[in-house]
Each structure stands twice: as structure tokens, then as C-alpha cells.
Structure 1
């Protein structure tokens, strides 16, 4: 259990939540694992299996405290909204921003800046850690270009300008990503921005991981009361979970790409984990999906210090934390949306 941003995260699957007086009690079996004043929370995010007492659910509804239920793997299941209508007001504000190009652009720059900052970190770290096994000069040149692009993002005056910078950064990053693959280079290589459907094994891994991350971001946004369909960066993607697509941009490189590359580099994947279709597309087979899902769940349990909050969290909590920060910005509690910048 952890308190972040006036929200209580209950991550232990075996935990049970109840109300005692004005306190939230978290129990595991007969043992009290935590006690927190209910008034100190704006929301409770419950990832357990044992449940929440009716008295606590009623108290949350009466006090306007959002209570969101997730599966242990992070799937949003249901939510209880208080009588205050806070979620409705939050969504109305989101729709207002989404319909305003200037307001949307300000937030969209945050999503793109997080993406570019984190991809630059990936290739610069590889140049430092494996100078004898990679083309360090090539990676440093790419890192310098990404740094300049990141610094120029505030100057983007339109979505066209922002998308041009993003596309150039993507081309630069994916153009050198092949250097970071240190094992099985005959089977795993990178030559272009990922396509749909994927045409090579690495593209198949990334496609699968991006789908998992999009699902995580969708559930995270639903859990804090935001509409995952109301995009700010992907404003023209009608019918898609466009706000979830926005949010996941910060995590593509630092979670998905890193996990794919690290799994390959420890020989957790091989050519036998893939199948090729008649149209030339390549997908993970059952054993390949199992290998990636095992690595995914292990990654979600690893910890980091959130660079903005300076609090220790798990990687699995990251989409939920960023969704909370986005909701705070939309409510007017923050001057700007703070993207996840991995350091």
C-alpha cells in the first residue's frame, strides 16, 4: 500500500479494505497491514482480489472519493464515483481542452517531450555501457539530434510542427535502435519505424508490447475518471482510445522497447518463438507470447524513483501515476502536465 498524490494504491492481491470509524483499514488475513484517515484521500485504487467492505464503498460515495477496482494485472473493472460529480466535471474539462487546439497542443508537447527524452536516454546509455559492442559514435550523434529536438519542442506553434519534430525524432531513434541489439542479430534486427502488421521478429515483439501498454494506459485513465477516447495529441483518431495513445507515448521506449531489447539480449527469445504469415507479416506464437508476458509481469514489479514525485513506485504503477498527474492538470491543480522523464 502506498499513498501518492492524495490517492491510496492498494497493490497486494490478498488485501481487504474496510472502514473503522473514519479510517481505511487494509487487512491481509487477520493482520492489519495499514491504517489511513479516509479524509486524506481523493481516490483509492484497489488492485486486490479479496474486496472492499460495503461501509467503505458507501463512505467513499458519500464523500466524493473515487474508488476504482482493478484486477491484479491492472485491468480496470469498475469504479464508484461520489455524489459530488467530480468525474463528470473532470471529463467536461477534458472535452473542453480536447476541442481547443491551443490548449491541446500545450499538453501534447508534454507527451512528445517525454517520448523523445526517454528514447534519447536509451541510446545514450547503450553508448556508455557497451562502447566496445556498439557504434558509440553513431549513437552519440543520434543522441545529440534527439537532445536538440527535445529542446526545440516548446517552439512548436502548431500540431503540424509538433508532428514533424516527432516524426524526425522517431526516424532518428529507430534508425539506430539496431545497434542496441547485442545477441541473435541474425534473427533480431531493426531497419525502420515499426509497421502494422509487423514484418520482422523485433517488430512483432514491439507490436505486442505496445498493445499491452495501450491497454494499461486505457485502464489507468478510466481509473481516474478520464475518458480514454478524448485525445489531445491524437485528436484526429476518432473511434480509438486516443488519450490512452497519447499517454503511452512516454512509455514506448523506456518500458516497451527496453523490455524487448533486454529480453532478446539475455536470449529469452529466439526464432522458434515466431510464426510468419502468407502476407509476410510476423507474429509471436504461443510460447513467444508467454515469454514476453512473463518478462512484462516481472518488469511491472521492479521499482524506480519517480523523477517528478521523488517517491518510490513500481513500473506497473507508472501509467496510473501519470494518469493522476494528468487529471490534476486538467482540474487546474498543476500549472503544466509533468511528463515522465526517466533519469
Structure 2
């Protein structure tokens, strides 16, 4: 199994990345410099006004270390990577499956079964450990259970089946995020969430969710590329230029148990406060520079937590779970597994 490596996050504006032997040199505007061995890295993520020499970008590509560039607020800009790994036969199998309505629906159904089951587990755990004022979490749990049942109902037209499954997931997501605020144990309007808002996030909770989802998508995309799958061609998410559809597909299984729980932990343990966010004139909410660093440290720490993979029955760090799922998806597409086994968090 792949060894969990680190991701280098560069958050200081004006920093510059260059090659120093087999290491990345990070030089700040004040002259301070840090050397990070490439052997210890699986990726580099740069936020805001960070520059890089062509030599370090080329060397990272040769060594299989991806370099991603995001805005200071965490919106994806670009990614530099080397040649696609794996063999063409796997990618051809992936394209055939994505173009086959019946097979695409089968993979989509399993992906969503993992997502909805994991959302239900997160809700269920919170109900077990805490009060449920107003019963919002009970309503969400029942809705998620109904949605899981609806996934298994035989579909009609195979071409329309993926759209039906998307509709089931969309309805369940509305109940889940309607109850998300009930899992936040901080009083006041500062931590109020009114459903899911994205581009831009309009409250502090959505700001955190979007930021962590971006980090997770970056990591999952790298896992897919490692096994030789094309991250652009998915099953649940439709093809769109520049969109990593397969990466977004695989992220769905990890949103609730990894990203959502991380956000809830940061809020409920008061590791972040209202002043760690900035609200723009349009109402868009962003993290401050110091708050970003708090989230990044917590993200890396969460990746190192160990748990047993439900299908492989191996103990792995959380940060290797999406690598394991990428390999299982590749095995299914090659015909080695009858079905894709989703990640089910216990």
C-alpha cells in the first residue's frame, strides 16, 4: 500500500519556490528560507501570490509531485503535473464505462450509497452523543434512510437513471444541510448556517466547508492520477471542460466522515472564532491568513488518523483511504471486481 506522504502548503504572500538539489526552497520576501525534501512530499499547494521557478515545476512533475495554485481564499486556479501514469487500457475501460448508461448508473448508485450512508452515520453519531433540539437530526436521519432505499429501486430508462439518482441525492442533501446547524454547539448568529452556499460562501460554516472540500478534491485527484485513472471523466458529475468530474465523484464518499466532521470539530472545540473570518461587501465570507493555517494543520492531522478499511480490512491512515478507493475503482473498471465497493465509515 502507498505510504502517506506530506503536502506542503505555502500560505505566505510573496513567497517563491525554487529548486535546491533534491529539495524545494521556499523563500519569503523578508529573506527567510525553508528547505523541504521532495522525497517527503506528494504535493504542493500554494495560496495567493506565490511564484515558482520553471525548474522546480519541471522537477516536481518528473518526481510525481503535483503543484496546485489556489487563490488566497482557496479557490482552485491551476495544477501542474507530469505525464498521466497508468496504462491506456485502464483509461479506455473508464471511458467505455462512463459512456455506457447502465454501467455509469451502477457506479453512480454505489458512490451515492457510500455518501448517503456516511452522512447518516455522522448524523446518527451526533444524535447518540448530544441532544437533538427540535428533532432536526431525526428528520435528516429518516430522510437519508429513505434516500438509500430509493437508490436501490429498479430504474426504468438506463439513460435517465443517473439523473434520477442525482435527484435522490439532491433531495437528501437538502435535509442533511438543513440539519447541519443542529450539530454545531456554539450559540449566536456567527455560526448560523442556512443551507449550503458555494460561489461565494455566505456564512462562516460554508466558508470552512468549501475550503476543506477544495483541499480534499486536490488530494483525491492526485490519488486517481496515481492509479492511472482520468480525473476529468466521471459518472455522477457530468463532463465539463476543466472540471475534475471523477475526483468530485470520489470526494462524495468522504465529505461527511472526513471534511464535515473536521469542520464541526474546528467549530465546536472553538479552535476558530468569528474574528478568523472576513466578510466582503458582497457578503462573501473568507478565512484570514492565520485561520487558514489552523485549518491546514488540522487537515493534515486528520489525514494521519488510523481506521480500518471496511472492504480491505486493513488498518490505514485516513489520508490513504481515497488512494484505496481509487485502486478499487480501477479494479472494478478492469473487470477484477463485479462492483465498486464504496467507502462506508463506521
Q: TM-score range by the shorter chain?
A: 0.7 to 0.9
Judging changes above 3 Å, is the alpha-carbon distance between structure 1 residues 237 and 205 closer, same or farther for their aligned structure 2 residues?
same
Candidates 209, 212, 231, aligned match of 1:209: 212
1:229–1:244 Cα contact (<8 Å) kept: yes
Q: Return 5+ residue gaps in structure 2 as ranges.
A: 7-37, 43-61, 69-78, 156-160
Structure 2 Cα separation of the partners of residues 239 and 327 of structure 1? 22
Task: Give 1:184 shift.
Answer: 4.6
1:11–1:72 Cα contact (<8 Å) kept: no
2:233–2:246 Cα contact (<8 Å) kept: yes
How many pairs are equivalent?
Answer: 281
Structure 2 Cα separation of the partners of residues 101 and 50 of structure 1? 38
Q: Return 5+ residue gaps in structure 1 as ranges.
A: 1-7, 14-46, 52-66
Aligned to 2:135, the other structure's residue is in SS state: helix
2:191–2:204 Cα contact (<8 Å) kept: yes
Judging changes above 3 Å, is the alpha-carbon distance between structure 1 residues 80 and 155 closer, same or farther for their aligned structure 2 residues?
closer
Structure 2 Cα separation of the partners of residues 12 and 103 of structure 1? 34
Give runs of aligned pairs for residues 1-343 of structure 1, distance below 5 A: 8-11=1-4, 48-49=39-40, 69-70=64-65, 78=82, 87-131=87-131, 134-135=132-133, 137-155=135-153, 157=155, 158-343=161-346
Judging changes above 3 Å, is the alpha-carbon distance between structure 1 residues 76 and 118 closer, same or farther for their aligned structure 2 residues?
farther
Provide TM-score, normalisation by structure 1.
0.76
The corresponding residue for 1:25 is none
Give a deviation string over 1:197-217, Cα, whole Å, max 9, x none.
Answer: 100010100010110111011
Structure 1 Cα separation of the partners of residues 84 and 168 of structure 2? 41
Structure 2 Cα separation of the partners of residues 241 and 273 of structure 1? 30
Give a deviation string over 1:162-193, Cα, whole Å, max 9, x none.
Answer: 11101110001001010000025431121112
Task: Give 1:77 shift.
Answer: 5.8
1:201–1:274 Cα contact (<8 Å) kept: yes
1:273–1:285 Cα contact (<8 Å) kept: yes
Provide TM-score, normalisation by structure 2.
0.76
Structure 2 Cα separation of the partners of residues 305 and 194 of structure 1? 33
Task: Give 1:310 shift.
Answer: 1.2
Aligned to 1:275, the other structure's residue is in SS state: strand
**Superposition RMSD in Å:** 2.5
1:68–1:79 Cα contact (<8 Å) kept: no
Aligned to 1:143, the other structure's residue is in SS state: helix
2:207–2:285 Cα contact (<8 Å) kept: yes
Task: Give 1:327 shift.
Answer: 0.5
Structure 2 Cα separation of the partners of residues 76 and 260 of structure 1? 28
